[in-house]
Amino acid sequence: MKVAPFIVPEVHRAAMEFKPGKDDVIVAAYPKCGCTFTLQIVSLILRKGKPLMTYDKYFSYLPFLERTMMDEISQMPKPRCIKTHFPFQYLKFSPEAKYIYVTRHPADCLVSYYHHTRLFPTYSFTNGTLDEFFELFLQSEVTYNDFFDHLLAAYKYRNEPNVLIITYESMVADRRAACLKIARFLGEEYYQNLMENNGEVLDKVVEYSSLEFMKSTVNAFWTKRFCGVPSIEEQESNPVMKKLAELLRKAEKEGERSKGEFIRKGRVGGAQQVLSPEQKERLNQYILEKTANSDVMKLWEKN
């Protein structure tokens, strides 16, 4: 599995051995498919509509599995909400935990992933072109490899009662309905919490999971996390942060400059305006080949 350049083997291996339990919520996704959006909704549901307003609170409450020390995760109070980009075959599946897998149409994922890669200097791709990234994406030469291999690994679990597969498109189309669906999946108590006081908590979850709110808060948290050199304290407590600091200093010397924002437009269908006719045709052929023995594309039939 191809991972981000700042990933440290021992942290990565420990993450693969992590087995969640009761009151753990795992939010999994291929990169740029709506994971951060889903995390925001889940955290708001678990916290009765209260957003995480500081960098420290955000990352202490929403750890990134393969980039966080296991002792830090083990000390977290439950319920725990944990982010991962691991494919399902690399996760220790537990019938007691809840798994939310969010996915997005591969065309929009590809374009968003291109901008994401240019944002982080550690990828050494800040001057890369969409044409170059398109080829890397189709050849599975991007972090976490092939889009459909990742999706299909999760899709096998679609009928498990503790697994929810949801599309980014459906959440954007009706965020309120998505919040209710996720809350009911997490447990009846969370659904009832949203409906208290004529849906007052639900209104807050919807408000604080908006693109506008996330661009004013969460966007800065993630940009600082992976574009800014970590503090000495962070580097001493986590080898991933130490390696990230080394790579950021190296990238700066090499002239790599961050381009763009972590949270961009959040649109659906934007890839159709930027991909060439030839690229659209090749992408469609790629989709047909990868899904020849699966009905997974039905996920987007209603969106």
Cβ pair 133, 117 in contact under 8 A: yes
pLDDT given at position 256: 60
pLDDT given at position 165: 98
3 state DSSP class of 165: strand
CA distances from 112 to 18, 119, 158, 289 (A): 29, 11, 25, 22
Segment 14-23, tens digit of pLDDT: 999 999 999 9
**Please, which residues have CB within 8 angstroms of residue 9's CB and are 6 or more apart in sequence?**
none
Angle between helices 175-186 and 188-208 (to 10 degrees): 150
Residue found by looking up tokens 């949270």 in the block:
263
Question: Cα(205)–Cα(18) distance, rounded to whole angstroms?
Answer: 29
pLDDT given at position 265: 61
Cβ pair 112, 264 in contact under 8 A: yes
For residue 95, name the pLDDT band (cuts at 50, 70, 90).
very high
Segment 136-148, tens digit of pLDDT: 999 999 989 999 9
Report the alpha-carbon angle 38-40-42, nearest 5.
70
- Structure token pair of residue 272: 């159709």
Residue found by looking up tokens 């374009």 in the block:
111
Least confidently predicted of 101-110, 166-175, 213-222: 213-222
For residue 266, name the pLDDT band (cuts at 50, 70, 90).
low
Segment 229-250, tens digit of pLDDT: 778 888 888 887 787 787 777 7
Helix (H) or strand (E) holding 100: strand 98-103
Question: Average model confidence (pLDDT) for the chain?
Answer: 88
Segment 148-206, tens digit of pLDDT: 999 999 999 999 999 999 999 999 999 999 999 999 999 999 999 999 888 999 999 99
- Structure token pair of residue 82: 């944990």
Phi, psi (deg, nearest 5) at residue 244: -60, -45
Report the alpha-carbon angle 118-119-124, nearest 5.
50
Question: Cα(272)–Cα(13) distance, rounded to whole angstroms?
Answer: 38
Helical H runs in the chain? 9-17, 35-46, 55-61, 70-74, 106-119, 130-138, 147-155, 168-173, 175-186, 188-208, 211-216, 218-227, 232-237, 239-253, 277-290
Helix (H) or strand (E) holding 8: none
Segment 33-61, tens digit of pLDDT: 999 899 999 999 999 999 988 888 888 89
Question: Cα(138)–Cα(148) distance, rounded to whole angstroms?
Answer: 10
Identity of the amino acid at 286? Y
Question: Cα(66)–Cα(221) distance, rounded to whole angstroms?
Answer: 18
Question: Which pTM does this prediction carry?
Answer: 0.90
**Please, which residues have CB within 8 angstroms of residue 225's CB and are 6 or more apart in sequence?**
55, 59
Cβ pair 106, 301 in contact under 8 A: no
